[in-house]
Structure 1
Amino acid sequence: MNARSTGAVLTAGVAVVLSATAVAPAFAQPQAAEEQATVSVLHAVPGLTVDVYAGDKELLPDFAPGTLTEPLKLDAGSYDIKVFKDGEGPKGTPAIEKTVEVPAGANATLVAHLTADGKPALDAFVNDTSKVPAGKARLTVRHVAAAPAVDVRAGGTAVFQGLENPEEAKGEVAAGTVSADVVLAGTDTVAIGPAKLDLAEGSNTIVYAWGSAADKNLALKTQTITGMHTAPHAVPAGETGLAVAAAHNQGITLGALSAGALLALGASGYLLRVRRRTDAS
């Protein structure tokens, strides 16, 4: 049960930033909550630390592989991304300089990763925040690794089959703990896992298979979105089985950033730097 993400794929680059240009006069003031988007960023390119810039302003310094940022509230609009290999910005040539769009009201994750044949790419996935039936949790799996098609198994049973990069698949499962692994499609050859996933009622647990099969660094990264309960909340979890739902993902793009979003991202980058300096001391 495959699903092709329609998120925009960049031809080069390794990480994500939202950069500033004046898009419209309305962006001079913060937008209402319903006109904003919730955006997280995942760096899933192994072995390459990057700096993310907005114009000449550094927003995410030393952005390391496997890092998932906290969700940010950003004004909807066009965003111009500039991404540099660590230490090469802002005067050098960016690895990515791309304009994309962030729609109002979306909850999205931007993922810098490798294509199936190992080339850097950027995909944007819209996260499903619709209500989850009582006693259930939503499980979403995204293939963003330099690897062939895979099957995703829960308790040894394939629940998502033939998943290709950069596809996603999702379904509903009884809330609780499930043991999951990733195998090469149509085989029992384990590529990643097994790993125990704690699936909370009313949540969407998103699992990213990332890394490179050739370099033997395939790994899982999880993201959890909560608050999608359907009353009544306290229903027994029951059996652990997936009811596979529609797996198509609506695409999202990035581009030039409003002043309010720049402030949020700038603060995020500053806090990352301060945290690293504190840890080092």
Structure 2
Amino acid sequence: MASPLVSKYPQCLSYIRRMTGSLRDVFQVPSHQQTRGKKRLVKVSTVKVHLLQNVPGYGRRGAVIPVTTGMMRNIWYPKKMAEYVTNDKLQQLGVKKDTTIERDSTFRSNTERKLDKEKEKYERTVAAAESAVASIEPESSIPIELGLLSPERSMTILENLVPPNLDFYRVPVTPSEAPQKRVSPSVRFNSVISAAAAEVKEAQKPEVTGIYGSVTTTDIAANLKAILAEDEDGVRVVLSPEDITFVEETSRKNGVKRLGIFDIEIRLDDAPDAIRRTIRVNAQD
């Protein structure tokens, strides 16, 4: 059985917090809340030094300037660029102890000053040249007319420049040796009559040799453009693969895939007539 004294104490935590808060306000007990103040700037420690040589951005040789202790300890003193200054040294140099010393940030070396002078001289030269160019009156330019040729003029140029025959070379496809076919079931396969009949039948068929790749109107147009490029007026002719067609019906649209001789027609847009040329697809060795 629980003691009757235990039940008199509060059992709720929120109630305990409210009671302790009210007691803290009555007795003015400071809370444990942390308050932040202003950030304090870190004070950089400096030391007065006596320059033993000219240091651009700091001062001339013999000047007394303040510099950070780290720079003096790690750079200037090991390289004998400056030396530490004591109170006795300040008196020898005629510098009072309480005198405010600052570095000469405008000091620059002779090399830097020479470069600045050369830069200013170059800028003056450029400005003078620009003003001289601006003062010159531009001459009246002669307009150059590069109009397109008429279809009739272009066809005349093609008629004069394009040769009658155009040669193309492709690698032929080697036909595989097919077995002889029997002429009649009653005749032996290797008989003389069967061979003679086969030769007659093969002689009646036209020989067609295929090629690797093809010769298309694009190839022909590229060949014609190379020919026209060698002439002053031919360069101005506008020719495309659509202006070239095969006279005969070919196995491939706008191209051939076998050795032989083929006729083509060249007709530009809005041209009244076409010119006919011959292309020869030869076997490449």
TM-score range, shorter chain: under 0.3
Structure showing greater Rg: 2
Higher strand residue share: 1
Higher helix residue share: 2
TM-score (norm 2): 0.18
